[in-house]
Amino acid sequence: MEHVPFERSVDLPPYRAILAVDAKGFTAEPGSTHEAISKSLLDLVGDALNGAGLHAEWERPAFLGPTGDGFAVGLSTRVLPYLVDPFPRLLQQRLAEHNRQARARLQLRVSLHVGPLPADPENPHWTGNGDSRNDTHRLLDSAPVKAVLAAASPRVTFVACIFSDRVFEDVIVAGYAGMQPDHCLPVTATVDGKAFSRQAWLYLPEVSGNLLGVLPSTPTSPSVAARPAQPKISGPRVKRNDGQVATTVESMTQHRGGDR
């Protein structure tokens, strides 16, 4: 029987770790190179996941959905701590190796979320759809992570991560991941033209020097204000070549046209 929402109860699907990856500037590359870039993206992420000890999970994901310039993959919630650390650091290192030899440098945005999703590992490309996956893609496309990667040096910073608040609280603050919470920057994730606004957390495994000027401001979100050890920060303020100081992460998106 087809499920009709709100009329009767059904089983809640298992919770999944949802990892999404997107290549900055993909559409600016010649169309003839897109397939090769997409394949190298899967290989690079796979290498980093294997290096994090997640070979079995990568070989048999709950779901895997390519998006042309990226993909989303569903994995066991058990491995969420390893997706926080060391996966981003290993991906940064792998990209550094790749970019030393590649014609075009790759910079990747990574989002990480968790939530209930159906899945069929026997047909991974045709399953795993739901609100939690949609939110993962919204985080990936949000203004803060796009802006910080656009502002970062393409010769140093190859990965920009955005974690959902649930991942931050349940995995990082709770001490399951090998990362101090202070490595993350609180931001409000919004997407142009979408009714989407979420508390989220930026993390850069390798910070380029022009992103180091971070200025705190008064907390505005109750969920952030409740964490005295995690002050609300408006976003990186970046020195431009003319010596001027750019505005917050959200404004940088406007300055750069939401560069991907």
Q: Model confidence over 211-235: pLDDT tens digits?
A: 876 444 434 444 444 454 443 333 4
Point out the least confidently predicted range of 72-76, 183-187, 222-226: 222-226
Stretch 50-71: mean pLDDT, rounded?
92
Stretch 196-207: mean pLDDT, rounded?
97
| Phi, then psi, of 86 in degrees rounded to 5 | -105, 5
How far apart, in whole angstroms, are the C-alpha atoms of residue 186 and residue 143?
Answer: 13
Q: What percent of the chain has pLDDT over 90?
A: 64
Position of tokens 């690079």? Answer: 44
Q: What percent of the chain has pLDDT over 70?
A: 76
Which pLDDT tens digit goes with each residue over 102-123? 777 899 999 999 999 999 888 8
- Structure confidence at residue 213 (pLDDT): 62
* Torsion over CA: 168, 170, 175, 176 (sign): negative
What are 21's strand-pairing partners?
Answer: 71, 110
| Phi, then psi, of 208 in degrees rounded to 5 | -80, 155
